[in-house]
Amino acid sequence: MAGREQHGMVQKRGVGHWFTHLGLIIGVLIIFFPIWLAFVASTVTQPEIVHPPMPLWPGDQFFNNYRDALVSGVNAPVAKMLLNSFVMAMGIALGKILISLLSAFAIVYFRFPGRKVFFWLIFLTLMLPVEVRIVPTYEVVAGFGMLNSYSGLIFPLIASATATFLFRQFFMTVPDELAEAARVDGARPMRFFWDILLPMSRTNIAALFVILFIYGWNQYLWPLLITTDPSMNTIVMGIKQMFPSGDDIADWPVIMATSILAMLPPIIVVISMQKLFIRGLVDSEK
Amino acid sequence: MATVKLSNLKKSFGKTDVIHGVDIDISDGEFIVIVGPSGCGKSTLLRMVAGLETVTSGEVQINGAGVNEMEPMDRNIAMVFQNYALYPHMKVFDNMAYGLKIAKTPKAEIAERVQSAAKLLQLEEYLMRKPRELSGGQRQRVAMGRAIVRKPDVFLFDEPLSNLDAKLRVQMRLEIKQLQRSLGVTSLYVTHDQVEAMTLADRMIVMNGGIADQIGAPLEVYANPQTEFVAGFIGSPATNFLPAALVSGAPAGTTVGVRPEHATLTTPDHGLVEGQVSYSEALGSETLVHLRLSSDAAFTVRQNGMEPAPEEGHACGVLWNSSDQMHFGADGRRIATP
Ligand SMILES: Nc1ncnc2c1ncn2[C@@H]1O[C@H](COP(=O)(O)OP(=O)(O)O)[C@@H](O)[C@H]1O
Ligand SMILES: [Mg+2]
């Protein structure tokens, strides 16, 4: 009796398994379809796109379209926009990681006057994302003459509490004895930070880097506001700028090629860092 | 080559006094064990010597110089922690070399010192491993190696063996003792285990609630406990305590202490006290006979394992030499027997 019941359950799980997979495959196809269309559109000619029916299989214009996009683009070469986005995303990710590592280090390992106050001030910034403080931030950035510059794109987005919290939580799990052993070994605080805390945090840093890189890459509103010079456009906002105003015709193959190019760096970052994650998880150590 | 001197050393955390004034003069090469129950302030005392905890009042001197205001690294001490505190991302070699690297020791000398420490501790094959690839005993050795390579004036150990299993603990205890003998480095060793204290110490400090109840050589402390607490803490099974009223001839108002190994069973009406056997534990070489006295106090007698153990419920008397009988006043201090 019990055996038959168990058998039935296994069978049911088997069928459920297939349904789950089928569901997932359909889901992936639905999500992937627009991306596929964008890819197809980036490999055909303008007339092929605007005359229905829409092509569903790639054409032979791949190299032409991508070369056009990268070298000349619509307002600015896409290669330049990719570079801008890359600088901005890297700047934001690395800047945030550096600042939050240092502030978490200060909060966890030092007793200084106003430690609580600083902690809560950092906490407060969680409630003030860029969009909320965008007008005063613009004023400040404009005042410093940082419009149309990398520093203007990066600095206002660096201050961040989330990452500080993450590192604070991690540092608090590091045994006190480790800091004491380092102190007995003669390591001054910053030496302890570089030699011991930083290497121990590397999987956290990798995870955060991925998240923050994508966050930086996908910024839209802020670059739109402060880059008026097309050569400083980032790619995500740049796509929007490629849409024609008035009677001009949209160069769809180039726009689609740009879209596809815009997707690649985050994917590359995720895939390459994923390996580091997994290695970090496998050699889990503290 | 180092002497350590603690003078009226006190520590408070906020309003809580944790160490109430400890004095000791430690001579060069001496092995001092700080022993006491958990929470009595052993670690705090050690950490004040290390410089990991500030001194509230009193003074720590190393080689005659006050070190109260010095950072741990400037005191030339090395410490072995309970959880080893090895740097998890560094290989064994780098763990041992880290302090030397910071001190800017030449590379060749670092390699040589680490190699010789590894040889001493049988760690040579493990130098390129990470700590997590080692067993508990090996990690313990690495922690010791890290202390040795620095050639410190003083070794400080905070319950270094308490994370090991019983068998390994005995083995490592012996190794630590031999190592300390051969290196001749002045050592302070914290433990809550009185067997460890008895076997390792040249002299031990028995701590009781932040007070050094007694300082002395293990056998002297065992033979001549100065307080009721020390009599109860050092020696296993623990000393029996009885109110003076139960023992004829004992000074009134005192507590009488008798060690289980000093008492023998006899027939009823012939002992100094009478009772019934509640149970016996036969351990092979010895048998612990637990009695309930007629006054309802508990009493333990340790007898040779070869002697027949009395049955449960058996009535008997207990005898001991009056010279083995200890008396403690109401304040817990020993009263010299007249
Ligand atoms: N940083 C601290 N702040 C407040 N109290 C502490 C601190 N460290 C230790 N104590 C207290 O001091 C007492 C002695 O602690 P400790 O020296 O660690 O004892 P032991 O090592 O003998 O078990 C304990 O009651 C403990 O609660
Ligand atoms: Mg302790």
pLDDT band per the 50, 70, 90 thresholds, residue A125: confident
Rg value, chain B, Cα: 24
User: Would you call A145 helix, strand, or coil by DSSP?
Assistant: coil
Handedness of CA A92, A97, A102, A103 (dihedral sign): positive
Residue type, B282: A
Omega into B237 within 30° of 0, i.e. cis? yes
Handedness of CA A103, A104, A108, A109 (dihedral sign): negative
A50: pLDDT strictly greater than 80? no
Residues of chain B where predicted confidence (pLDDT) is lower than 50 = none
What tokens does B111 get?
Answer: 């390699």
A130: pLDDT strictly greater than 80? no
**pLDDT tens across A82-122, in order?**
999 999 999 999 999 999 999 999 999 988 888 888 888 88
Residue A205 contacts B, CB cutoff 8 Å: no
Ordered by start, the domain boundaries in chain A are 2-63, 67-285
- Are the C-beta atoms of residues B179 and B196 closer than 8 Å to each other? no
In percent, the amount of chain A with pLDDT more than 70 equals: 91
Do the chains contact at B85 and A186, CB–CB below 8 Å? Answer: no
Q: Which ligand is nearest to the CA of B82?
A: 2
A67-285 to CATH, choices 3.30.70.990, 1.10.3720.10, 3.30.70.1230, 3.20.20.70 = 1.10.3720.10
- Are the C-beta atoms of residues B232 and B37 closer than 8 Å to each other? no
What global pTM score does this model have? 0.82
A280: pLDDT strictly greater than 70? no
Residue B77 contacts A, CB cutoff 8 Å: yes
Handedness of CA A223, A225, A227, A228 (dihedral sign): positive
B237-335 to CATH, choices 3.40.718.10, 1.10.1240.10, 2.40.50.140, 3.40.50.920 = 2.40.50.140
The domain made up of B4-232 is a member of CATH 3.40.50.10860: no
Do the chains contact at B85 and A180, CB–CB below 8 Å? Answer: yes
**pLDDT tens across B282-298, in order?**
999 999 999 999 888 89
Which residue would you say has higher pLDDT here, A5 or A174?
A: A174
- In angstroms, the CA A61 to CA A253 distance is 9
What tokens does A157 get?
Answer: 């987005």
- In angstroms, the CA B136 to CA B143 distance is 11
A281: pLDDT strictly greater than 60? no
A285: pLDDT strictly greater than 50? no
Kindly state if the Cβ of B15 falls inside 6 Å of ligand 1: no
A1: pLDDT strictly greater than 50? no
What pLDDT sits at residue A3?
45
CA atoms within a 13 Å half-sphere pointing along the CA-CB vector of A239: 20
What pLDDT sits at residue A7?
52
- Pick the atom of ligand 1 nearest to B42's CA: 22
What pLDDT sits at residue A90?
94
pLDDT band per the 50, 70, 90 thresholds, residue A247: low
**pLDDT tens across A195-230, in order?**
999 999 888 888 888 889 999 999 888 888 888 888
What are the residue ranges of CATH 3.40.50.300 in chain B?
4-232
In percent, the amount of chain B with pLDDT more than 70 equals: 99
Q: CB-CB: which of B85, B102, B150 is closest to A191?
A: B102
What are the residue ranges of CATH 2.40.50.140 in chain B?
237-335
What pLDDT sits at residue A126?
74
What pLDDT sits at residue A12?
59
Do the chains contact at A175 and B82, CB–CB below 8 Å? Answer: no
What pLDDT sits at residue A58?
81
**pLDDT tens across A145-168, in order?**
888 889 988 988 887 788 888 899
What pLDDT sits at residue B86?
95
- Are the C-beta atoms of residues A252 and A69 closer than 8 Å to each other? no
Q: Which ligand is nearest to the CA of B38?
A: 1
- In angstroms, the CA B212 to CA B234 distance is 14
- State which of B10, B44, B190, B233 you would mutate to test the pocket of ligand 1, scoring each by most atoms of that ligand within 8 A of its C-beta: B44
As a whole number, mean pLDDT of residues A183-194 equals 94
* Residue B18 CA, ligand 1 centroid: distance in Å: 7
ipTM: 0.87
A181: pLDDT strictly greater than 90? yes
Residue A123, min C-alpha distance to chain B (Å): 29
**pLDDT tens across A223-246, in order?**
888 888 888 888 888 888 887 776
Who's near A125: CB < 8 A, 6+ residues apart? A159, A160, A161
What pLDDT sits at residue A5?
46
Number of Cβ within a 10 Å radius of residue B277? 19
